[in-house]
Amino acid sequence: MSDPGLRDEVLELARELIRIDTSNPPGNETPAAELLAAYLARAGLECELIGPDPARLNLVARLQGGGDGPSLMLMAHTDVVPAPSDGWSVPPFEGHVRDGLLIGRGAADMKGELAARAVALAELARSGEELAGDVVLVAEADEERNTAGVGMSWLVRERPDLRCDYAINEGSGWLLELADGRRVVTVSVGEKVVGSLRIRVRGRGGHASVPSGNNAVGNAATAVQRLLGYQAPVLVPPTVERAFGALGATAGGAEEAVAWARDQHPHLAELIPAMVRLTVTPTGLEATEPANVIPPCADVICDCRALPGQGEEDVRAHVAEALGDDLDYELEFLEPLEGGTESPVDTPLYRACEEYVERRLPGAVLLPLIEPGFTDSHWVRGAHGTVAYGFAPVFSTDLDAYMDGIHAADECIQAADLAEMTEFNLFAARALSRAARPQSSRS
Ligand SMILES: [Zn+2]
């Protein structure tokens, strides 16, 4: 990175953010929003702190554009998952730096990225340069649990004026060196549909002193085995198919392309199979009778992830196919399916990502991914039609260490990558400023 001043600035801001414990639950994100507001005020930016819960406020800072260019939202959540002390080599909320490596809860997910987006906005404000469209930093609460309705789901509902044409959020930007020598950098363009369900499996209840073969607990165990043993057919979303094509993996069918990608990199081996099929994974088993009573039913609790465009019917069909027709069961969704939005890739923001990668890593290819998890990109895509990508370049941090630390001990990121992320956000804002607004956004 060209500017050592910005590098120190983003590292220091990330450390300060980590020192504010925003473990969710309970969150208590307001002090993090206040810290950011004080930081941005020094760059001349006014911030709004808003939300339905005073302890869990969101921050919004807008840098007004001077023309009719596309608007860009820089998104980052302020909450983190809790950090039980087991396994940490340093205290998780101190913002420890060891040989250029920042270690602490939120270093990777995502106070480091949050700091990079804030520093980029501050730098744009300080520079006095006029972009054609607005750049809006949104630092939102409650992403990790998304149960309190105080974060991005609240913002898109209560503050439609925050709508932007484009958004950059968490999720990807990882440099992968493939087995055949090529380099790819991932970008998240969509995410799977996420939900949970209960499969209530029945049997014949009664006194345990006279057991029958038709035991609900045994039947539930059979259901678990069958769910684990069943794989949905591969469905490659068009975006991913294009990416496979760009990488030269189109020789066979979808299964072959997936097998090829799997052989190319251990992270693709984990990501690609999840990206191309619906999964229903047993995560719990419940039956509630005393030990001497055979219960009439037992519940298998499952996590379910469907592809963009799929819905409850696809999940029901998957379960029916897996379980066969000799079990007596009923399926109930524990919460409505959520997520499953996807953004197109023929956009100026996507090209900005490509150009940035090409500039920094000549010859590397951008690989669009569907996230197996859920991010707040879903809300802005769903409510506002915003083109949202998960992209924050991780070019210097050892990827295994980076991945292993997310939601776990010794979460880390190289300071060089915080600087890289800052540069990318600046680059993307300037590149978009030269693009036309999308037709659908013009009034
Ligand atoms: Zn996150």
- Give residue 289 CA to ligand 1 midpoint distance, Å: 39
Amino acid sitting at position 231? Q
Examine residue 54 and say whether the peptide bond preceding it is cis (omega within 30 degrees of 0): no
CA 361 – ligand 1 centroid, Å: 25
- Ligand 1 mean position to 113 CA, how many Å? 10
| Residue 303 reports pLDDT greater than 70 | yes
Mean pLDDT of the region 24-36: 97
pLDDT of residue 335: 87
CA of 81 to the centre of ligand 1 (A): 9
pLDDT at 2: 59
Q: Distance from the CA of 93 to the center of ligand 1, in angstroms?
A: 17
Instruction: State the pLDDT confidence band at 250, using cuts at 50, 70 and 90.
Output: low
Q: Which of 86, 99, 59, 79 is nearest to 18 (CA)?
A: 79
Q: From ligand 1's centre to the CA of 112, what distance in Å?
A: 11
**Cα separation, 158 vs 287, whole angstroms:** 41
Query: Cα–Cα distance between 358 and 222 in angstroms, integer?
Result: 51
**Paired tokens of 249:** 């993996």
pLDDT of residue 235: 87
C-alpha 375 – ligand 1 centre gap (Å): 7
pLDDT (tens digit per residue) in 94-139? 999 999 999 999 999 999 999 999 999 999 999 999 999 999 999 9
Question: What dihedral angle (degrees, nearest 10) is formed by the CA atoms of 82, 86, 87, 93?
Answer: 40
Kindly report, residue by residue over 176-185, the tens digit of the pLDDT: 999 989 999 9
Q: Which residues are catalytic?
A: 79, 143
Res 298: pLDDT = 97
- Rounded to whole angstroms, the Cα distance separating 425 from 74 reads 8
C-alpha 84 – ligand 1 centre gap (Å): 18
The pLDDT assigned to 139 comes to 98
Tokens of 190: 């969509």
pLDDT of amino acid 269: 84
Checking if the pLDDT of 251 tops 60, the result is no
CB atoms within 10 A of CB 247: 19
Q: How confident is the model at residue 442 (pLDDT cuts 50, 70, 90)?
A: very low
Averaged pLDDT of the chain: 93
Q: What is the pTM of this model?
A: 0.89
Compute, in angstroms, the gap from residue 111 CA to the centroid of ligand 1.
9
> Given this model, what pLDDT does residue 272 score?
83
Flag whether pLDDT at 441 surpasses 80. Answer: no
Cα of 171 vs centre of ligand 1, distance in Å, is: 7
